[in-house]
Amino acid sequence: MLDSSSLTHIASSSVNDIIPSDLFHSTGINMPALLALIFIYMIATIGLAWYGYKKTTSDADYLLAGRKTNSLVMAVSYGATFISTSAIIGFGGVAAAYGMGMLWLAFLNILVGIIIAFLVFGPVMRKMGQFLHASTFPEFIGKRFESRGLQSWIGIFIAVTMPLYAASVLIGSARFIETTLGINYTTALLIFAVIVAAYVIVGGMISVMYTDAFQGGIMFVGMFLLLVLTYVKLGGVIPAHEALSNMVSLVPANLVAIGHQGWTSMPVFGSQLWWTMISSLILGVGIGIIAQPQLAVRFMMVKDKKTLKRAVLAGGPFIFMMVGVAYIVGPLSNVFFYNTTGKIALDAVGGNIDAIIPVYINSAMPEIFVLIFMLSLLSAAMSTASSQFHTMGTAVGYDLIRNGIFKGKSVHTILFTRIGIVITIIMAVILAFYLPGSIIARATAIFMGMCTAAFLPMYAGALFWPRMTKTGAYASFAVGFFVSIFWYVFVHAAEAVPIGICQKLFGVATLLPGMWAYVDPILIATPLSIIVAIVVSLMTKPPSEKMVSELFKKEEEPVSAESAS
C-alpha cells in the first residue's frame, strides 16, 4: 500500500522499474507461439529497415526522411515515438493508484501534442525549417537566431541529458524481454540495443519512420483490444464504472489524508495529491510533449501544410488509444482485483505500482491477447528508442561535430551522424547497466521538464515572434535549464530528498516547505524562462530586417529535395 514517502517516487516515475521476474512465466504462456510471433515481428521490422536503407540516397533522406513523409506515417510515427512502455505500464499503474483524473493528461496530450503542435507549431516549423535548410532541431534554432554556438549548446544539452531518458527505455525493454523469454538482463539489454541501433544507423530517419508506423499499428490494435476486453470482463461500460465509483470507501487512509477522493474523482483541490497529479504528471508531461526535440523535428519531414492537417485525424485517435485506454483500464483494474482477490490493485501486487498493468493483463485476459500485448509493449519500446537514438546521434554527429567543431565545412554528414549514434547508444547502455531504476525513472521526468523550460520559450519565439533575439534565446535557454536544476536539487521533494544536497548544506530536506515541495519545476522554470526571453529580447539589438522579412512575410519558399545540408 502507498504511503506518503513513496508518493514522490511515483509522481516522478515515468518508466517501469523492475517487474517481478516470475510474473509472465507463472501464467503458462505458450512460448513456441510467442517466439513465432516475435520472429515474424522481427522479420517485418528488418524488412522495413532494409526498405529505408534502400530509399536513403541523400543527407536529407538520412536526417529528415527526404521531407516527403505522408500524413498517416508521420502521425503514427510521432505518436509511437512519444508513447513507450512508460505510458502503458508506468502511467497506467499510476492511474490505478490515483484514479481517472489522469485522463486530463490524455486530453492535454491530444490538445497540445497533436492539435496545437500539428496545426499551430507544425506548419510554421515546416516552412521556416525548409527555408533555413535546417535538418535538426538544434540547427533550426541556430539558423533562426544566426548562431552556430546556440546550435552546438542545444546539441550538447541533448547529448548529455537524453541518454538518461534512453537508458530508462532500455531498462524497461530489457526487463520485459528478460521476464518474457527467460534470458538474463545483460543479454536482453544488448540484444535490444543492437537491433534498434542497427536499423537506425544503417537506414536513418526513413527506417525509423516506417518501423515506427508498423510498431504503432501493433500498439493501436493491442490497446483497442485491451479496452474492449476489460469492459467485457467487468460486465459492460456502465456496470464497470459504477462498481469503481462504489469502491470509494476502499481508498487507503494514507491516500485519503493527502487528498484522494476515489478513483472516479479528482483529488481535493490544493492537496498534496492534487499538486502531484496536476503539476508533475498532467502539466509536466502534457505540456512537455511539444518541446521534445525528437518530436518537433518531425514537422520538417512532411511535404506540405495539408499533410499536417490530415495527420491530426490519425494522430488524435492514436494518442487517445495509447494513453487514454491506459488511464481508463488502470483504475478499472481495481474492480477486477477486488472481485477476484478482495484487494485493490496496489495491494494485490504487493505495492509495486509498475506491476499492476502486467499482472492485470496476465490474470484477466485470454492467452492470445497476452501474446499480442507483449508485442505491443515491444513495439512501444522499440519505436521510442529508435527515435531517441537518431536524435542523440544527430545532436552529436551533425550539430556538435560537423557544424560545431568543423564549422559546417565537412561533407561527411551521414558518417558523423552514425558516429554520434554509436557514441550516445554506448552512453545509454552504460547507464542502463549501472543506474538504479528509481534514478532512471526520475531522470526521464527531469528530461521532459527541462526540455520544456529550456526549449519551449525560444522555440515558440523563433516561430511566432519576429522580435526574439539571439541573446534572448541564450538567456531563456540558460534560465530554463539552471532554474530547473536548482528546483530539482533544493525544492522538489521527489529529487531533493534522495539527492540530499539540500539536507547537507542547509539542514532541511527542501528549502521551501509545504506544498512548494510538490510543485514541479516546470511551473517555476518555464514562466521565468518566458519572462527572460521577452525582457532580454526587448533590451537587445533586434534581428536583421532581412531575416525577419524572409521568415515572417513570405507565404511559401520553394525547396529542393536536397535541401538538408
How confident is the model at residue 19, as a pLDDT? Answer: 42
Q: What is the pLDDT of residue 3?
A: 38
pLDDT confidence of 5, banded at 50, 70, 90? very low
Query: How confident is residue 355, by pLDDT bands cut at 50, 70 and 90?
Result: confident
Q: How buried is 546 (Cβ within 10 angstroms: 0-12 exposed, 13-18 middle, 19+ buried)?
A: exposed
Instruction: Name the band, by pLDDT with cuts 50, 70 and 90, for residue 103.
Output: very high
Is the pLDDT at 557 greater than 60? The verdict is no
Q: Which CATH architecture has domain 4-444?
A: Up-down Bundle (1.20)
**How high is the pLDDT of residue 24?**
42
User: For 33-62, what is the mean pLDDT?
Assistant: 80
pLDDT score recorded for residue 444: 66
Residue 308 bridge partners (DSSP): none
The mean per-residue pLDDT over the stretch 455-459 comes to: 95
Contacts of 249 (CB under 8 A, 6+ apart): none
pLDDT at 248 over 90: yes
- In whole numbers, what is the pLDDT of the chain averaged over residues? 82
Does the pTM surpass 0.95? The reply is no
Q: Is 48 exposed, middle or buried (0-12, 13-18, 19+ CB in 10 A)?
A: buried
pLDDT of residue 261: 94
Reference 102, options 113, 92, 115; nearest CA is: 92
Distance CA 235, CA 210 (A): 38
- Considering 349-353, 381-385, 520-524, the range whose residues carry the highest mean pLDDT is 520-524
Mean pLDDT, range 403-409, rounded to an integer? 78
Location of C-alpha cell 492539435? 115
Using 50, 70 and 90 to split pLDDT, how confident is the model at 410? Answer: low
Query: In this predicted structure, which of 74-88, 93-107, 249-263, 460-474 has the lowest mean pLDDT?
Result: 74-88
pLDDT band at residue 41, thresholds of 50, 70 and 90?
confident
Listed in sequence order, the DSSP H helices in 246-324 are 253-257, 272-275, 284-288, 293-296, 305-319
State the Cα–Cα distance between residues 62 and 74, nearest whole angstrom.
16
482-518 confidence digits (pLDDT tens): 999 999 999 999 889 988 999 999 999 999 988 899 9
How far is 374 from 372, CA to CA, in rounded Å?
5
Q: Which residues pair with 302 in a beta bridge?
A: 69
Find the mean pLDDT for residues 221-227: 91
The full set of domain ranges for the chain reads 4-444
- Between 188 and 29, the more confident residue is 188
Q: What is the pLDDT of residue 143?
A: 92
Highest mean pLDDT (candidates 65-69, 387-391, 464-468) = 464-468
Q: Tell me which of 66 and 194 has the higher pLDDT.
A: 194
